[in-house]
Structure 1
Amino acid sequence: MRDVPARKRVEAVIKNIRRATRRQFTDEEQIRILLESLRGEDSIAELCRREGIGSSMDYGWSKEFLETSKRRPSGATTQAVTANEVKESHREAGALKEVVADLVLENRLLEQA
């Protein structure tokens, strides 16, 4: 019986870690999904189910995209970034998320001990 509360605490910690490390969509993925939703080939609900996102997320991305495009002056340029730099940045971010998740779990387990 003593293991039941401990198990629930561990499950709660794991749930919080999963919540903190949810999948992050790249700008390219967001734009691809937005373009698919604008094409109207599938319903927004079906597209969101297939992509594993909520329809509110699609709406938020659409709103953000439209607001950003309004603010950007015409003729503005962006800095060119190589694909390798982007991949390395994604690798670093993933590694950092894993380290943070491990440390959070370790700290919570130490606090409970």
Structure 2
Amino acid sequence: MEAEELKYLIVNRKENAPTMQSDLARKLVWVPHEVQSFCAAGIIAEEGDMLTVLLEEGGKKVKVTRDECQKMNPPKYHKVEDMSELICLNDASVLFNIKDRYFSDLIYVSKHIKPNFH
């Protein structure tokens, strides 16, 4: 592949910064959202199966059950080219990765060609 073509596939990891800059970054999860399907949130309190989270969008505090949350991948996996590399492979993480790559003008789906070993 030419260098020009690679800019649509490969991410510059030096420019890939975390979205939430705080001590909550270690406890990030995806929670259901009415408009966006899932929203990034930081866990601020735990009481049994209930979690109090701070939504990244708008900074609103919300209580959700632990089962409603999906684990979030560390920032180094944002815009990953091969989603099988994700540590947390769940609906929210796959959707986020596809949207993140799309809005960064990166190829977000790829058809792998099997090599011919004749």
Superposition TM-score, scaled by structure 2 size: 0.26
Q: Return the index of the structure with the highest Cα Rg.
A: 1
Which structure has more relative contact order (CA 8 Å, sep 6+)? It is 1
Structure with the higher strand share, 1 or 2: 2
Structure with more of its chain in helix, by fraction:
1
